[in-house]
Structures are given as C-alpha cells and as structure tokens.
Amino acid sequence: MRKKQSGLSTSSKEALMNKLETTIAVFLDERSMISQNVLGKSEENVRITAHGGGHENEDWGGIPVVVLFGDDYQLIPPCEVGAIDSFFQTGNNSTLKNGAFQFINLGQNTSELNIIVRQNKDQEEFRDLLANTRIGKPSDTNVKTLMSLHLNSNEFSVDDIKAIEKKAMYVFANKKMREFNDERLKEQHSKTNPIARLRVQSISRSTTSNKIPKCFKKDNEIQPILNICREAKVQISGKNFEPDWGLFNGALGVVKEIVFKEEESPLDGYLPQYVIVDFPTYCGPIWLESHPSWVPIPAIEIQCPNYCCSIKFLPLSLSYAKTGHTFQGQSAGPEHPIQCIIIQPGSSNMEKLCPGLLYMFISRGTTIGKKGNRSSSAIFFIGDELTKERIQNLTKTKSGEICQKIQ
C-alpha cells in the first residue's frame, strides 16, 4: 500500500469505489508487518469509498466483516510503529490515532490458531524447536540442532552442499542479496550464454532515455537495468499478470530464452520482444505444447501517476536470493516449489533491531530432516553470524530488554 498523507486522488477514489461497491468483508494479512499509518489510512480510504460512499460516519464505511491475520512474534513493520505499539503510542496525527484505535478495536475479538500446519506431525524435533524458539527459550538440544543445519557444520559432504545449493533459494536478512544475485548471474553466464543487459526505456516530455524518471523514483521495484541470461533464476517484478494462472508479482521462474526482433539488438538499447520463462507453478493456457510451464513475458509500458512520462521495461528481477520481508508468508520444503532455503541471518545487531527475524526464517521450513541426515532439511544456514549466543537471545532488543511481544 502506498503511503500518502494527503487524500485520495479522484482516479484512485473512483477505482476504490468500484472495487468496494458490494464488499462485505476485508481481510488484512501479516498484521505484524502493518504500521499504524497504513492501517489508519486504509480505514479512512475504505470509509469514504465503501458501498458507493455516504457511510463516512461508520468504521470501514460499514463493511460488516474486517479481519486482521498474523503472528505478532514475526516481523515488525519496517521503521514504523505497528500493532503492539498501539498499547503505548496512540499517535500524534489523526491517521496514526485511527491506526492505533483500529488495532486495539479489531483486537477485541481474537481467535488464536493453535494448530501448526506448516510442519508435519512427524517433525516432532522441529516442532519442539519452533515452540521453544518462538518464545525465546530454545533448549540446548534445540540450539545444537539449529547449528547442525549450518552448511559448514561437518554434517554435509562437498557433494551434499553442491546438491543443496543447486535446489535452494537464498534468503538474506540484509541488503547484500543484490550483490549475491549479480555474483550468481556471473557464474551462470558463459561465452555461449551471454548476459543480456536490458535497460529501462523512458519517455519524459517527448525525450527518450534509459533513466527512470523522477515520477517513478519511489517505486523501487523497477530497476534501471535488468541483467539476465538463459537459466537465470528470476521472479516477476512490478506486475500482476494473471494471479489465477500463477503469474503474480514475486512468482519464481527460470529464463529459457531471450527473444529479440530480427533487426533489433540489445546492444542498440532495444528491449526483447519477450523473454521465455519456465514457471514451475504456472497453471494457465499452454503456449508451447512441448513445455507447458514456459511463458513468454513481454516488456510492459506503464504511465506515471502524473501522466507526464512513461517507462517500458521487462517486469522481471533476479531471484537467486530474496530478502526476509519479501519471503514472508512463503513455505519451503520438498513438497513446495521452493525445496529449501539457505538463510544468511545477518548480524545479531540486525536481529536486535528486528526481534523475531531469525524465528520467522526458521518457521518457513516444513522439515529439518532427521538426526544424522540433515540433507533433506528445508532450511540451512550460511555466514558466520549464527552462534549459540545469538539463538539463545532471539527476543532481546538492542537495549537488552526482552521483547516478548505477547504475554
């Protein structure tokens, strides 16, 4: 959701009115990541547009069912006050006040979901580990188990590690994942599989360039340059093509071919006609009989909100690694498209600013394999920042206080 202090523009208001004309329920997922500002503003926007308008004196414009989901032990909203803060900080402007009020009000009726669904019943060791780690009290055995999932823990042979790295998605707690993506692409390319350097084309006041115009600067999903080659791991970025077919923002795939028009070369700044991407979870109409999950992704053109410029780009980005926040809500395991994740947990200072981060990563996995054979685990670790002390202090903040989010 876009943060904006001013009111809705006429066109956004119209679009929201259409969307909410007959809405009877609103669901907001990942409560722990929603800020007071976003919740407050959402309520204000819904209130003035729901059911054709005219319900400004009713919360959520009179929509009868409003539900917040989420695990408050998980990630907190980036840099802003959220649900738990509403107990102590009720905001210094009307939107924040409204956000805090909505958090408390919607918390009046709460259902606790007690059944773990992600990890199977046979994962007793893992379930015990999660239950203890979630409340900041892992046992010594739990700590040992977690440490054994580190790729340098002597549990894995060189061949094991190769196989794990091949099937894994990397998840980074910090911004280093961009460099990592570039490095992996370098390893992937070769003389016969060159990197195509695809630059954004923008038209601003009838001049064309390869820079992103100011109007789009806030939209940091669009990168000025996309580097890809065949077999590169990518995700759809900045566009929901057809979510029902599995083509949504964040859908993961592998580049199969980059197709240019005959007389157009990437060296002259042209964008390809389309890039063929294999999306293993694609379930729409078949484009290529021999490869039912291959989909041509074209360059798309979007207009800026002020209607003064437009950009054309390929809505893809490299996805060898993702950040924690963009991985939130997904699962990893042998039965999922992402078979396993390799976690770079970031510094423990980072954890202290964002308690629950490591727990959130761990809880994405469906299995940790078996004692003595961890190769089939869905989670692994890299880097030198996973230590015993770290795991035992997962819920401690920078000032040393225990951050127990719920009693």
**Site for Zn ion, rule CB under 5 A:** 215, 304, 306, 308-309
Structure tokens at 376: 């089939």
Between CA 266 and CA 11 the distance in angstroms is 37
* DSSP states along 47-100: HHHGGGS--TTSGGGG-SEEEE---TTSPPPTTS-BTGGGGT---SSHHHHHHH
Of 281, 375, 387, 287, whose CA–CA distance to 337 is shortest? 281
Q: What are the backbone angles phi and psi of residue 300, rounded to the nearest 5°?
A: -120, 155
Q: Of 310 and 392, which CB lies nearer to Zn ion in the complex structure? A: 310
Smallest distance, Zn ion to C-beta of residue 200, A: 14
Min. distance of Cβ 240 from Zn ion in angstroms?
22
Chain position carrying tokens 């794990």: 164
**How many whole angstroms from its chain centre is CA 291?**
28
Closer Cβ to Zn ion, 302 or 350, answer by number: 302
DSSP state of 318: E
Please identify, using beta-carbon distances, which residue of 39 and 215 lies nearer to Zn ion. Answer: 215
> Based on CB atoms, which residue is closest to Zn ion, 88 or 307?
307
Beta carbon nearer to Zn ion, 131 or 308: 308
**61: enclosing H helix or E strand:** none
CA angle 15, 16, 20 (to 5 degrees): 125
CB of 223 to Zn ion, least distance (A): 18
What DSSP character marks residue 162?
H
Q: How far is the CB of 28 from Zn ion (least distance, A)?
A: 31
Instruction: For Zn ion, give the closer residue by CB, 215 or 362.
Output: 215
Distance CA 298, CA 218 (A): 23
For the record, the structure tokens of 343 come out as 């976690």
CB of 211 to Zn ion, least distance (A): 12
Residue 310: CB minimum distance to Zn ion, A: 8
